[in-house]
Amino acid sequence: MSSEAFAGIEDPGKIFLNPSVQELVEQSLARHEGRLSDTGALVTQTGTRTGRSPKDRFLVAHGASKSKIDWGAVNKPVTPEVFDVLDAKARNHLVGKDLFVIDGYVGADPNHQIKLRVIAEFAWHALFCKQLFRRPTEEELAGFEPEFEILAAPTMQADPSLEGIDSEAFIGLDLERRRVLVIGTHYAGEMKKSIFSAGNYLFPQQGVLSMHCSANIGPNDDVALFFGLSGTGKTTLSADPQRRLIGDDEHGWSDSGIFNFEGGCYAKCIDLSEEREPQIFRAIRSGAVLENVVMDESGHVDYADDSLTENTRAAYPLEFISNHVPEGRGGHPNTVVFLTADAFGVLPPIAKLTREAAMYHFLSGFTSKLAGTEAGVTEPEATFSTCFGSPFLPLPASVYAEMLGEKIAKHDSEVYLVNTGWTGGPYGVGKRMSLPYTRAMVAAATSGALRGVETVKHPIFKVDIPVSVPDVPDEVLDPRSTWDDPGAYDEKASELAAMFVKNFDRFAAMVSPEVVAAGPSIE
């Protein structure tokens, strides 16, 4: 397809409108954007930016959204004038260049969808979007009218002389005009997360709780949600061969149940192995995209090599997972799991949460950053990411927490806090929680085996610890008993509790006293 003008771009080169996966792979190879691995996946590199660039992400401050957005360090404002200058420069930058155009949508629920069009400078970016977003049928494409546009011009650089811009990258989200502009970065995840942020603004206004979580469904149509930050085991634990995968990252909870926003998966693949994560490993084949992995001349990928980045990624369509749910939907969740990797070694391996405690821990979004993962980190550090997805929430956090509280109460969903981190002592002293034990605890929770089980309340964190879990030794369940020195445990637990309380101070005025009281005690 060719045109004198397309989407405000004068005299572009050839326009590839909704090309096939194979054509996009061939174009990527012909343009030297990537190489094929020995499994047929397209291997690409994103240059100096191997992850998201949060300091270069902006929301356009105008219209009705201006008064609704929770402005601050995460949601930084930019004027419409600055956005328009960069948008015009991006379209001028694309004059004469071939364009790869993908139409897709977000939201497996027909009543809650965002139709979008991606206009990409790189063929591999278009392939990424074709595999990650939901794909319309041929009939749907015939009358497709996009509501949102993503314009990706990675080889163009932003102008730091413009107000608020201080690097060559710019990721701008205009919620009023339904446009996303991505320039100066090759990292494909910016496109995915920009539209996720848009969904986190639009869907709650439709009564849908938008969530940064994975979801699966059991043999009795029982649905489970898994929240957790990087390194907590969200992808590993939700990819259960005994359960079908609804999705691995972004979901909505509507009046009808759970639905996946996406049509694919974007999985971290550092240290990936067929033994530990067979479903993900086998999904990396022809049509999949690998970012920033190290590959030798024969096409063999070394997943343990983090010399480019620890944030190596694989993008592939959901149908590459053998036991996925094609319709991308399920009923209301029976079980909600909050995953945390506590490097302080004090949280119990599993605990039941009341509605108020669920809202407290949802707002807290706790996990640990380990020594050595970042420059200057020499001891484990507490990390709190609101609603387990702080970088992608345009609205105040209380909006999402209140919706969660209402929905788990209405649908009698049981909520569990599962610690996949350390036991017997902090990082460097204790040991990582046994994965088979964690799997057994999660299986007990999702199967309903822990409903009504006897529990004891943790004296500091106030969560309810089951006294027994099938296939897990009782002594593992009480974290204090796993430490050689119970006094040292109490001291470390109080230390972490104080961090929780300090972090939650910013939410105290937004929620009920009962939610505040459900948090840890530091008396």
Q: Is 485 a catalytic residue?
A: no
Q: Phi/psi at 177 (nearest 5 deg)?
A: -95, 5
Which of 52, 57, 192, 251 is flagged as catalytic?
Answer: 52
Cα(295)–Cα(42) distance, integer angstroms: 11
Our answer to whether residue 235 is catalytic in this structure is: yes
Strand, coil or helix: what is 117? strand
Could you confirm whether 313 is annotated as catalytic? yes
Say whether 52 is catalytic.
yes
> Contact 166/158 with Cβ under 8 angstroms?
no
Give the span between the Cα atoms of 242 and 506, in whole angstroms: 40
Of residues 57, 212, 329, 361, which has the active-site annotation? 212
| Catalytically annotated residue among 112, 193, 329, 361 | 193
| Active-site position among 179, 234, 324, 407 | 234
At CA 115, angle to CA 112 and CA 121, rounded to 5? 145
Q: Number of C-alpha atoms within 13 angstroms, CB side, residue 151?
A: 24
Instruction: Given the residues 210, 235, 368, 383, select the one marked as catalytic.
Output: 235
Three-class DSSP category at 412: coil
- Nearest to 477, CA basis, from 441, 432, 519: 441
Looking at the DSSP bridge assignments, the partners of residue 149 are 117, 179
Contact 414, 451 (CB under 8 A): yes
Structure tokens at 73: 């360090």
CA dihedral 445, 451, 455, 457 (to 10 degrees): 80
67 as an active site residue: the answer is no
Interaxial angle between packed helices 21-30 and 123-132, expressed in degrees from 0 to 180 and rounded to the nearest 10: 150
Is 148 within 8 Å of 117 (Cβ atoms)?
Answer: yes
Beta-ladder partners of 15: 99
Half-sphere exposure of 40 (CA within 13 A, CB side): 10
Active site residue 234: yes
Hey, what are 241's tokens? Answer: 């061969």
- 193 part of the active site: yes
3-state secondary structure of 372: coil
Q: Using an 8 Å Cβ cutoff, are 58 and 77 in contact?
A: yes
Under 8 Å between Cβ of 138 and 149:
no
Alpha carbon distance 184, 198 (integer Å): 21
For 483-496, the DSSP string reads: SS-HHHHHHHHHHH
Backbone angles phi, psi at 450, to 5 degrees: -100, 0
CA distance 30 to 297: 18
Instruction: Map tokens 């089980």 to a residue.
Output: 453
Q: How far is CA 396 from the centre of its chain?
A: 18
Among candidate residues 230, 354, 390, 434, the one labeled active-site is 230
In this structure, what are the phi and psi dihedrals at residue 213, rounded to the nearest 5 degrees? -155, 165
Catalytic option among 57, 179, 251, 313: 313
CB 484 within 8 A of CB 430: no
Annotated catalytic residue within 103, 109, 249, 342: 249
Which residues does 205 contact at the CB level (< 8 Å), separation at least 6?
Answer: none
Q: Is residue 243 annotated as part of the catalytic site, yes or no?
A: no
Length of the chain: 523
Q: Which residues are catalytic?
A: 52, 193, 212, 230, 234-235, 249, 313
